[in-house]
Structure 1
Amino acid sequence: MIDDDSALWSASDQDGTYPRPQLVRPSWTDLSGTWTFAFDDADAGLGEGWHERRAFDREILVPFPPESEASGVADTAHHRIVWYARGFGAAELESAGHGDGTRLMLRFGAVDYRCRVWVDGRAVGGHEGGHTPFAFDVTDALAPGDEHTVVVRAEDDPHDIGQPRGKQDWREQPHVIWYHRTSGIWQPVWLEAVPAISTTGVRWMADPRTGLVTAGLELSAVPVQPVEVRVDLSYQGRQLGTVKTMIDDDEASLVIPVAALANGQAYEELLWSPEHPRLIDAEIRVGDDLARSYLGIRTAHVARGRFFLNDRPYYVRSVLNQGYWPQSHLAAPSAQALRDEAQLIKDLGFNATRVHQKFEDPRFLYWADRLGLLVWGEAPASFTFTPVAVERTVREWLDIVRRDFSHPSIVTWVPLNESWGVQHIATDARMQHYARALVSLTKALDGTRPVVSNDGWEQVDTDIVAIHDYEADAGVVGDRYRTRAAIDELVDGVGPAGRVLVLSGDVDDAPVMLTEFGGISFDVDSAADAWGYSSASSASDFDARLSALMAAVHDSRALAGFCYTQLTDTLQETNGLVGADRTPKLPLERLRAIMSGAAGASS
């Protein structure tokens, strides 16, 4: 619960625990902690009425998946169906702000893959999509009395390769580049009371070129009578703009002139960038509802073979981030861990990260916004091309573009990667249409960011030519990417791994980035199953290989940026710059110098 005194808190300066950082209310109840739990391998629970139970026979620590050690269950075997139960009472309702005239919302950050939810034995709804948030109004489901129970049935079939699953292994044990699964509840669950008419979503569009900020509001219902809406913007306590109006619909678009942006000699003092992560605070009042938010004012586009941030060429130094922890899998071990991850990436000399095959926890995006870190938002892939897989992927993708649209840190969308889920796109016209459709749908919802159609190879209508190349010889890498002419030979012919890089679309002026490379395995723990694209035998050998490779990349006069593979060791995949425990494999200052281009080819 946050103190509801505007002088004491703002959305841009929160502690990172609130699960939905761009629409914050002062009163809420975190339902993380101990729940009761059961496997349902026989799928008997529905028929036997398990949703009416108040408890199950074992315990789990939510929001950690049952496969993980952090959950207390640590069972990595295949279990398709799991059940959860948790009680809550008067104290939780009071902390959530529930009282006369309010509606009690039960919110979930993510449940993998589909679920059904009951409160006090009454069904309140279901959801499909393992990475996307959802909520239910449970007010009318509360039974008389002071004690209540929420029950969740989650289904995650490990053999269903049509689910958007990313790096989650279909085998029982991890192999090569795939990891243990993350089933069931894996992001926060919380209670929050709101007025009958409240803000359910906000979409910020900030255009420094016109000096306008647009707030796209979604309301919980159509008001019976017109309701007053007011949005106030401020920066470091200085009022920037206000708009007030009456609305009679469940959607509204409010345009707020920001006079400070009209001063062409001073407007950059409000712009967001990794070097200056300035966040604008917003207060949103809809009738009796008060919510706080934040936004960043910046532009991102591509032109003339370069990526532009705030209308200036910006060289992208990125690192591939699996968003995986050995003790908690796709779930972060704590809210603090998400902040630490963003800070570590910056400390290593990067200004960007590509969260790989995962829609990351919004709290990580908050820290990217606040600390100043560019993010490429990438979808977790399914492993097959069927109508069902297409529908599932598109639904989750559109939900995430909607969820994350307002984060200034996100500057590029990546709906497909390395033809996962479209394995035959080079020769199958249906898959090419699908890739184009994803690009077009993304741009229909968001015309403010570039889109990479299929990161790595076999791209259609892409804004950035993104190349994956795990060549270990630094000399070969240098020759391939030193000039645009050399790169064009790859684009016009056959690229690394024998893949065609671009299938269609005009990429003559598109920036080229080396978006996966490196992958040097240096296994400090000498694990027998250590895996990487190439291997170093010692710290000095790792330094020499990494330095030479990065010197070749920095020497390129044609690349607009890069993304190194990868940030951390992940289970058997030992090609991280840091170990699974986030300990750097070389002194942090040395890694920073190498990755930022401040070091030469040798130490």
Structure 2
Amino acid sequence: DPSQDLEILRGKQFWKTEIETIFYPRVSGIWQTVWLEYLSPEYQIDDLKITPNIDKSEVIFEIHINGIGFSELFLIIEVLFDNKTITQDKINLDFIGKIGKKKNKKVIKERIEIFHKNMFHENQSRFNFKVAIPNNLLHLWDVENPNLYDLSLKIQNEKTGEIYDGISSYFGMRKISISEKENGSKQILLNYKPLYQKLFLVQGYWPDSLYTPPSDEHIKKDIQYVLDFGFNGLRTHQKAFDPRFLYWCDKMGVLVWGEIGNAYRFSVKSQLKLINEFVAEVERDYNHPSIIAWAPLN
């Protein structure tokens, strides 16, 4: 991005050569985690959205798969807690990629053991399904006990055993809600319990690497300081934080307010950039149980 363009989202990055007042040095190049991976040319898991429902002890998965289905193609699902399988099942993917323009939606309802699966097609290869978690195996995520479930998804040819694509992820079962007190004031609840937030503001700048954390150990050390000082959360300030940082907040039980950098100059151009990039950030980080609030502007 042009370093002196005041209409791009820059956060605390200064547009002049020498920093001054409240601004920090500019950042250039790749500063978040990148990787290379092989993808099958036939089938790929393109996107996964996870929504917990603690009231019904279930989790809703919205998944996007690229490819044309056939009768032997299945999505293999496994949910684990503490390295032990909680539940597993498979969904036949013979329908993906075959829904025409006139059939723009298709609903499949199916009950297998403890599963209630509802697959709703908004386009050719996006659908939802629900996984029920037995009540005796429901472990909620909160700041004292940041319980996480592991998830494995695979696209597999049942006849040949070939696995076309697979992902490993995780999720936390938690609910944020608001209740009204007798005096009319509101309070935030985490899993129906009053949540008093004690937050640090974190800038996410590192002495030698600026926007980029030097290592996971440095991230964990910063988050541990939050807990050691008796706080329970962070407001991430003027920056879309690396998902690795959010992972450790999920893992260590630290609440997060998500945020994105502002543009310095208000205009139609900066408004459009803010909306597009902020929505992309919210979609990217949707599955993190630690994120309980979003702040689009400073």
Residue 300 of structure 1 aligns to which amino acid in structure 2? I
RMSD, matched Cα: 1.6
Residue 309 of structure 1 aligns to which amino acid in structure 2? L
1:88-487 residue pairs with structure 2 within 5 A? 156-196=1-41, 197-219=43-65, 221-225=66-70, 227-247=73-93, 248=96, 249-260=124-135, 267=138, 270-287=139-156, 288=163, 289-304=165-180, 305-417=186-298
* Counterpart-to-counterpart distance in 1, 2:152 and 2:269: 41
Say whether the 8 Å CA contact 2:44–2:67 is kept in structure 1: no
SS in 2 for 1:381: coil
Say whether the 8 Å CA contact 1:323–1:360 is kept in structure 2: yes
Alpha-carbon deviation of 1:399? Answer: 0.9
* Counterpart-to-counterpart distance in 2, 1:342 and 1:251: 36
Residue 350 of structure 1 aligns to which amino acid in structure 2? F
Identity across the alignment (%): 32
Q: Number of residue pairs matched?
A: 255
* Ranges in structure 1 where 5+ consecutive residues have no aligned partner: 1-155, 418-603
Residue 177 of structure 2 aligns to which amino acid in structure 1? H
* Counterpart-to-counterpart distance in 2, 1:380 and 1:185: 17
- Which deviations, in whole Å up to 9, do the C-alpha atoms of 1:201-243 show, x marking residues without a partner? 2111111101111111122x23253631122111113332334
* Counterpart-to-counterpart distance in 2, 1:286 and 1:414: 37
Residue 207 of structure 1 aligns to which amino acid in structure 2? N
* Counterpart-to-counterpart distance in 1, 2:178 and 2:5: 38
SS in 2 for 1:174: coil
Say whether the 8 Å CA contact 2:49–2:286 is kept in structure 1: yes
The structure where helix makes up a greater share of residues is 1
Say which structure, 1 or 2, has more relative contact order (CA 8 Å, 6+ apart).
Answer: 2
Residue 259 of structure 2 aligns to which amino acid in structure 1? E
SS in 2 for 1:391: helix
- Which deviations, in whole Å up to 9, do the C-alpha atoms of 1:168-205 show, x marking residues without a partner? 01121111211001112112332111223121221111
1:237/1:224 CA distance change after superposition, 3 Å = closer
Residue 161 of structure 1 aligns to which amino acid in structure 2? L
* Counterpart-to-counterpart distance in 1, 2:227 and 2:286: 22
Residue 225 of structure 1 aligns to which amino acid in structure 2? F
Alpha-carbon deviation of 1:278? Answer: 0.5
Residue 345 of structure 1 aligns to which amino acid in structure 2? V
- Which deviations, in whole Å up to 9, do the C-alpha atoms of 1:478-529 show, x marking residues without a partner? xxxxxxxxxxxxxxxxxxxxxxxxxxxxxxxxxxxxxxxxxxxxxxxxxxxx
Residue 283 of structure 1 aligns to which amino acid in structure 2? S
- Which deviations, in whole Å up to 9, do the C-alpha atoms of 1:550-592 show, x marking residues without a partner? xxxxxxxxxxxxxxxxxxxxxxxxxxxxxxxxxxxxxxxxxxx
Say whether the 8 Å CA contact 1:243–1:254 is kept in structure 2: no
The structure where strand makes up a greater share of residues is 2
* Counterpart-to-counterpart distance in 1, 2:280 and 2:271: 14
- Which deviations, in whole Å up to 9, do the C-alpha atoms of 1:520-541 show, x marking residues without a partner? xxxxxxxxxxxxxxxxxxxxxx
Report the counterpart of residue 104 of structure 2 in structure 1: none
Say whether the 8 Å CA contact 1:280–1:294 is kept in structure 2: yes
Structure with larger Rg: 1
Alpha-carbon deviation of 1:398? Answer: 1.1
* Counterpart-to-counterpart distance in 2, 1:295 and 1:414: 22
Say whether the 8 Å CA contact 2:9–2:273 is kept in structure 1: yes
Alpha-carbon deviation of 1:275? Answer: 0.5
- Which deviations, in whole Å up to 9, do the C-alpha atoms of 1:60-116 show, x marking residues without a partner? xxxxxxxxxxxxxxxxxxxxxxxxxxxxxxxxxxxxxxxxxxxxxxxxxxxxxxxxx
TM superposition score normalised by structure 2: 0.81
* Ranges in structure 2 where 5+ consecutive residues have no aligned partner: 97-123, 157-162, 181-185
